[in-house]
Chain A
Amino acid sequence: MLISLRNDHKEHLNLLTTQSVQVLIDFCKLAIDFLQNGPNLKLYTTAAEKLSVDLDAVQNCIYGLVNLLLLSCKYKLSEADFRDSILTLGFSSEQQTILHKFYESKKTEVARIITKLSVSEPHYDDLEWRFEVQVSSRALLHQVVPLMTLDLSLKTMKDDGSGYEKEHLLLQTDVNNLLHITQELEKALIESRSRHSRKIQRALNS
């Protein structure tokens, strides 16, 4: 599919169409730097002086590139679709190759992050278990109660997307319930690989 960009977005990127390949490469590098370290006004001022344009125009170019990257990742564009989408912006074939390389280099990383950003809910992280036998307590001196103590660790994406917040839940269960839970979850796993599930998955992917 093709993505259509907003008009102001097109205007912002327009400056780059008239620049040399080397300048475009440098801007792509600046955009990558922006993704990793945030805005760097010093670099943008230098770039603006070299090209003798406004600082704003340079900044808008960088933001435009980043936005282009995010949109392309959102729609998971193939190479052909990506090229067609930027063709309308007036980039030359050589420039398209550069921009595609820029997209390819960051595609997986950005895609991974934006899928996780969507709805943050507690997510399974790890499970530790310990088998215990309760042999005595204040209320009953002699007893033998086998118990399974579980440390379930869950992670939730922080609001600003900067990482995970982990929480540890200490739970216990008896042997019967442990067996029941294990069998039940295994059923879920088997079900997800059943013909019915795979059929739906294929239908959704196509």
Chain B
Amino acid sequence: MKFDENIKKSLNLANNATAVTDATFKGLLENCFSVLTGLPEPHNVTNLYNSKPDLVKELYAALLSITAEFVRSGQKSDSIRDFLNKCGYNEAKISFYTDLYDRNREEIEGSLINVGSHLPHITDVTWKIDYIIKSSCVDASEGPLFRIGLQTEKYNSEIGGKKVELVNFTCDSQELQDLVYKLKDAVRHCQRIGSEH
């Protein structure tokens, strides 16, 4: 785990008890973990600034950076403890940090997993069965005809969130049988892998 010297210097600001009180430090950490899990900040940042807003801001940025990096590289609380110790943090601060870290780590991992480019993800399916009674070309009934809609989710940068799209297609009995057979084959494969390990 290597960090830039600048970040270490910024982290060191927390040891300046006049600029950053214990309450401020706790507030910053709670904000930090909330933001990384995708929730709004529980404390209003301006209330945490005290007399030295620049220092508090710098410390906040550094805390966000190291927390994201810890989760990204999968650090355990032991090595984090070592690292913060080297930054000159006292036991109370370190425990407070590692406590929050252990509680929020999985959540943050969850949001980090979703960062990146993914194919549209299928989350649901709709189906209906139609019978064609008559059409402009043929005067005879036909069916069943399955209309299938796959609901997919994909991250869309324009709206800054998930966008749901439907993939619609039709198939007849035989083709649906083929589709189900192939999907079942895939499910069986997953189950076999699951039971082997």
Contact B113 A140 (CB under 8 A): yes
A114 proximal to B (CB < 8 A): yes
A170 proximal to B (CB < 8 A): yes
Output the nearest chain A residue to B138 by Cβ-Cβ distance: A115
A121 proximal to B (CB < 8 A): yes
Per-residue contact bits, chain A 146-167, to B (CB 8 Å; 1 contact, 0 not): 1011101010000000000000
The answer for the CA separation of A187 and B193 in the assembled complex, in Å, is 25
- Knowing A172-B121, A205-B141, the reply to whether A140 touches B190 (Cβ < 8 A) is no
The answer for the CA separation of A169 and B141 in the assembled complex, in Å, is 31
Question: Which residues of B sit under 8 angstroms from A191, Cβ to Cβ?
Answer: 129
* SS of B interface (majority): mixed
Choice from A114, A118, A140, A189 contacting B72 with Cβ under 8 Å: A140
B65 proximal to A (CB < 8 A): no
Contact A140 B148 (CB under 8 A): no
Question: Which residues of A sit under 8 angstroms from B170, Cβ to Cβ?
Answer: 121-124
Min distance, Cβ B65 to any Cβ of chain A, angstroms: 14
Which of A5-13, A49-57, A177-185 forms contacts with chain B? A177-185
Contact A171 B152 (CB under 8 A): yes
Choice from B119, B138, B190 contacting A149 with Cβ under 8 Å: B119
The answer for the CA separation of A114 and B139 in the assembled complex, in Å, is 11
Choice from A123, A134, A205 contacting B169 with Cβ under 8 Å: A123
Output the nearest chain A residue to B168 by Cβ-Cβ distance: A122
Contact B72 A181 (CB under 8 A): no
- Knowing A139-B72, A140-B109, A140-B113, the reply to whether A185 touches B180 (Cβ < 8 A) is yes
Question: Which residues of A sit under 8 angstroms from B183, Cβ to Cβ?
Answer: 127, 129, 178, 181-182, 185
Question: Which residues of A sit under 8 angstroms from B186, Cβ to Cβ?
Answer: 129, 131, 148, 178, 182
The answer for the CA separation of A121 and B118 in the assembled complex, in Å, is 27
A173 proximal to B (CB < 8 A): yes
Choice from A123, A173, A182, A197 contacting B171 with Cβ under 8 Å: A123
Choice from A114, A172, A174 contacting B120 with Cβ under 8 Å: A172
B66-103 residues with Cβ-Cβ distance < 8 A to A are 71-74
Number of A-B residue pairs having CB atoms within 8 Å of each other in the complex: 167
Choice from A74, A121, A192 contacting B129 with Cβ under 8 Å: A192
Number of B residues whose C-beta is below 8 Å from A? 57
Question: Which residues of A sit under 8 angstroms from B139, Cβ to Cβ?
Answer: 74-76
Contact A142 B129 (CB under 8 A): no
Question: Which residues of A sit under 8 angstroms from B118, Cβ to Cβ?
Answer: 172
Q: A152-B167, A187-B127, A189-B177 are in contact. List 10 more A-B contacts (CB 8 A).
A: A127-B179, A127-B182, A137-B116, A139-B72, A152-B169, A171-B122, A189-B173, A197-B129, A204-B131, A204-B141
Q: List 23 A-B contacts (CB under 8 A).
A: A75-B140, A115-B135, A115-B142, A117-B137, A127-B182, A127-B183, A138-B116, A139-B72, A143-B109, A171-B120, A172-B119, A177-B122, A177-B123, A180-B124, A181-B124, A182-B186, A184-B127, A186-B180, A186-B184, A189-B176, A201-B131, A201-B144, A204-B143
Chain B interface residues (CB < 8 Å from chain A): 71-74, 109, 112-113, 115-116, 118-125, 127, 129, 131-133, 135-144, 146, 148, 150, 152, 167-171, 173, 175-180, 182-187, 189-190, 193
Lowest 9 A-B CB distances belong to which pairs?
Answer: A124-B171, A139-B115, A173-B122, A140-B112, A204-B141, A182-B183, A188-B127, A172-B119, A118-B135
Chain A interface residues (CB < 8 Å from chain B): 74-76, 111, 114-115, 117-119, 121-124, 127, 129, 131, 134, 137-143, 145-146, 148-150, 152, 154, 169-175, 177-182, 184-189, 191-192, 197, 200-201, 204-205
